[in-house]
């Protein structure tokens, strides 16, 4: 059955929030249905049909920096003591294992999971993650269990990029992480790290970013960036260092989502929020992140 388009139902023939705004004039923040690209399917040489796109619901931020930002994913830590157990979808749900070097691999595949309304309560990844051809990213840190209508006010930190960096990396994170695999033993810390992109803060600043992470970590990071595929001293790789650029190799304390094996103190650093409770849960001393950080999800948007 063909997908019916209807303005009244809040459904548009749009692949991104940018299209919802630019083509249909919608400027309200909120939930919208989006549709992935349609494509031509060849059954035989002479028999071709047009495949309809996948329809999904997500949140559009229509205001930040005058742009239109599509929520494509959230990274949520449901149990920091789990050490790569169920719920660690951005790392490994099957333990800390050198024979599982990429872990789940969900940064660079087309699997989807979660729902937009539960994006602060669990991991979320929608088809926009791999389908949208984007230029910039925005990131919100939101306390767990925050309902959608409070997201705007509840954020702990918000920022965006403005240099169209995704053009250089294939247009989205799916492509970027193909170029920079998050894999154990893929390289060495600092020399083989992926890109660090300068950010513009919408809430917070370079100094407050350091307070998100452990006090010891503060000496190892430079605020004002978002970084991708950073490697630690033991050659374990992490996916995203939100708000910071690593200057050393203990990235497991301030970077999230990782490969399938973290050698140091096996298995204590394996999980979506990696080694964020290294010196106790939410203590904010040593290498431990603050309680507020541990209990918040990281939202990823494209524009």
Binding interface with ligand G3P (CB under 6 A): 250, 253, 264, 287
Q: How far is the CB of 197 from ligand G3P (least distance, A)?
A: 24
Q: How far is the CB of 227 from ligand G3P (least distance, A)?
A: 17
Beta-carbon contacts of residue 106 (< 8 Å; ≥ 6 apart) = 89, 90, 113, 125
Conformation bin of residue 10: beta by default, left when phi > 0, alpha when psi is -120 to 50: left
d(C-alpha 215, C-alpha 219), whole Å: 8
Q: Which residue is nearest to ligand G3P (CB)?
A: 250
Residue 123 contact among ligand G3P, Ca ion, none, beta carbon within 5 to 8 Å by kind: Ca ion
Residue 160 contact among Ca ion, ligand G3P, none, beta carbon within 5 to 8 Å by kind: none
Instruction: CB nearer to Ca ion: give 120 or 138.
Output: 120
Q: Where are the alpha helices (DSSP H) in the chain?
A: 17-24, 128-131, 151-154, 173-179, 206-212, 291-294
Instruction: CB nearer to ligand G3P: give 198 or 280.
Output: 280
Q: How far is the CB of 164 from Ca ion (least distance, A)?
A: 29
DSSP 50: E
Instruction: CB nearer to ligand G3P: give 177 or 276.
Output: 276
Instruction: CB nearer to Ca ion: give 138 or 250.
Output: 250
Q: How far is the CB of 281 from Ca ion (least distance, A)?
A: 16
Residue 131 contact among ligand G3P, Ca ion, none, beta carbon within 5 to 8 Å by kind: none
Q: How far is the CB of 183 from ligand G3P (least distance, A)?
A: 20
Residues that bind Ca ion (CB under 5 A): 76, 87, 123, 250, 272
Instruction: CB nearer to Ca ion: give 36 or 293.
Output: 293
d(C-alpha 77, C-alpha 82), whole Å: 9
Task: List b or e across 68-88, with b for residues whose CB sees 16 or more CB atoms inside 10 angstroms.
Answer: bbbbbbbbbbbebebbbbebb
CA 259 centroid distance within chain: 15
Beta-carbon contacts of residue 2 (< 8 Å; ≥ 6 apart) = 52
DSSP 172: S
Q: How far is the CB of 264 from ligand G3P (least distance, A)?
A: 6
Residue 287 contact among Ca ion, ligand G3P, none, beta carbon within 5 to 8 Å by kind: ligand G3P
Residue 272 contact among Ca ion, ligand G3P, none, beta carbon within 5 to 8 Å by kind: Ca ion
Report CA torsion sign: 134, 139, 143, 147: negative
Instruction: CB nearer to Ca ion: give 19 or 123.
Output: 123
């Amino acid at each position: 059955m063909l997908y019916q388009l209807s303005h009244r139902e809040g459904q548009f023939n749009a692949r991104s929030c940018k299209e919802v705004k630019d083509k249909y004039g919608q400027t309200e923040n909120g939930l919208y249905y989006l549709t992935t690209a349609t494509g031509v399917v060849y059954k035989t040489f002479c028999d071709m049909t047009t495949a309809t796109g996948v329809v999904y619901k997500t949140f559009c931020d229509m205001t930040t920096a005058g742009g239109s930002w599509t929520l494509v994913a959230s990274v949520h830590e449901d149990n920091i003591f789990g050490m790569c157990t169920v719920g660690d979808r951005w790392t490994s749900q099957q333990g800390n294992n050198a024979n599982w070097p990429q872990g789940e691999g969900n940064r660079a595949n087309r699997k989807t999971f979660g729902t937009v309304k539960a994006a602060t309560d669990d991991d979320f990844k929608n088809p926009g993650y791999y389908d949208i051809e984007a230029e910039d990213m925005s990131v919100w840190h939101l306390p767990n269990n925050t309902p959608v209508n409070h997201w705007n006010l509840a954020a702990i930190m918000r920022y965006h990029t403005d240099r169209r960096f995704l053009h250089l990396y294939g247009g989205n994170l799916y492509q970027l992480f193909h170029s920079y695999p998050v894999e154990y033993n893929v390289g060495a810390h600092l020399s083989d790290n992926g890109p660090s992109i300068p950010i513009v803060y919408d809430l917070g600043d370079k100094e407050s970013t350091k307070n998100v992470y452990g006090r010891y970590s503060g000496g190892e990071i430079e605020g004002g960036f978002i970084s991708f595929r950073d490697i630690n001293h033991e050659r374990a790789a992490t996916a995203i260092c939100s708000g910071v650029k690593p200057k050393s190799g203990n990235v497991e304390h301030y970077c999230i989502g990782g490969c399938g094996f973290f050698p140091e103190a096996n298995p204590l650093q394996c999980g979506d929020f990696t080694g964020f409770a290294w010196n106790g849960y939410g203590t904010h001393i040593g290498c431990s992140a603050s309680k507020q950080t541990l209990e918040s999800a990281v939202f990823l948007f494209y524009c």
